[in-house]
Amino acid sequence: MAEASPRKLEALELFAPLPRHYDRVAALLSFGQDPRWRRTMVGAVRAQPGERVLDVATGTGLVARELVRRYGCQVVGLDQSYEMLASARTRLQHDDELAAHITLIEGEAERLPFADETFDHLTFTYLLRYVDDPAATMNELARVVKRGGRIASLEFAVPPNPLWNGLWRLYTRVGLPSLGRLFSREWAQTGRFLAHSIPSFYERYPVERVVELWEQAEIGDVHVRRMSLGGGLVMWGRRTADKDGGERRRPSADGGAQDT
Ligand SMILES: C[S@@+](CC[C@H](N)C(=O)[O-])C[C@H]1O[C@@H](n2cnc3c(N)ncnc32)[C@H](O)[C@@H]1O
């Protein structure tokens, strides 16, 4: 790994103690919504059995598992956290079907250890807030996807409606750290971290700017779906067929407005 920036060190430290209860706590803290967001994102990939999908920031492997169950595709799950990957490995040890379809790799989204156009499709989850240069990382993610392949992501978001926005801020500032404390000191710290990290990312990169980053990375036909009153944001698009972005256009009817 190249010398780690403060942002990267923070991400590495944040996730190191979380894998043990990650799946259950993450679902609970999002009121059961984040499995639903993950399913929507995976649904946008529309992979064929046998195709190769790269799942970046795979963590404990929840997206990788969903991809295999839904499509019977081959998945490479990549993450920079040794500890999160160790938990994903344990999952594979208990499930031969998953083990036959998923390969796990320790690596960084900013420097993917793959040749251009290696994968049919790519997914990434809760990633861009943790990287120093989201534009460069988007380019790097797109680089390893075949032309025409699908790229889909999931991220937390700040609800745009003023009422929900106010409640969301209250929940993330007070509710998340307090609920987190019920599990461990580290989850309380994660709650405090998210209350700051999510709005601060969107102050620097409003959703329209994130769409631009995708388009600059030669990803076209970009869709944006806000879910759960805007607390979750699922995006998907296709790597453009040519360098001029033949398939590019502004976000479609899903764009921004849809809330499910
Ligand atoms: C909130 S977890 C998401 C895990 C999983 N994909 C899910 O759906 O729950 C975010 C993951 O991103 C990983 N991560 C953060 N920055 C990364 C980077 N630059 N390269 C690779 N992984 C990264 C973290 O280690 C962590 O496992």
Taking the centre of ligand 1 as the mean of its atom positions, its distance from the CA of residue 149, in whole angstroms, is 22
Give the span between the Cα atoms of 150 and 147, in whole angstroms.
9
Distance 1 CA to ligand 1 centre (A): 16
Query: How many residues does the structure list for the chain?
Result: 260
User: Mutate which of 22, 79, 201 to test ligand 1's pocket (most atoms within 8 Å of Cβ)?
Assistant: 79
In the predicted model, is pLDDT for residue 253 greater than 50? no
- pLDDT at site 91: 92
**What pLDDT is stored for residue 250 in this prediction?**
46
Q: Distance between CA 31 and CA 231 in Å, rounded?
A: 11
pLDDT computed for residue 182 by the predictor: 85
E strand or H helix at 122, and its extent?
strand 121-125
Atom of ligand 1 nearest to the CA of 124: 6
Question: What is this structure's pTM?
Answer: 0.92
Quick one: DSSP state of residue 59? Answer: T
Walk me through the domains of the chain, giving residue ranges and CATH numbers: 6-239 (3.40.50.150)
pLDDT digits (tens, 9 = 90+) for 130-186: 999 999 999 999 999 999 999 999 999 999 999 999 999 998 888 888 888 888 888
Identify the pLDDT of residue 256.
Answer: 44
190 touches 199 (CB < 8 A): no
Mean pLDDT of the chain: 90
12-21, 151-160, 194-203: which has the minimum mean pLDDT? Answer: 12-21
Q: Which residues contact 213 (CB under 8 A, 6 or more apart)?
A: 134, 135, 138, 205
pLDDT class of 260 with cuts at 50, 70, 90: low
pLDDT digits (tens, 9 = 90+) for 61-106: 999 999 999 999 999 999 999 999 999 999 999 999 999 999 999 9
- Residues within a 6 A CB radius of ligand 1: 11, 15, 26, 38, 57-59, 62-63, 79-81, 84, 108-110, 125-127, 130-131
Torsion sign (Cα): 172, 152, 207, 85: positive
Secondary structure percentages of the chain, helix, strand, coil, to 5:
50, 20, 30
- For residue 85, the CA-to-ligand 1 centroid distance in Å is 10
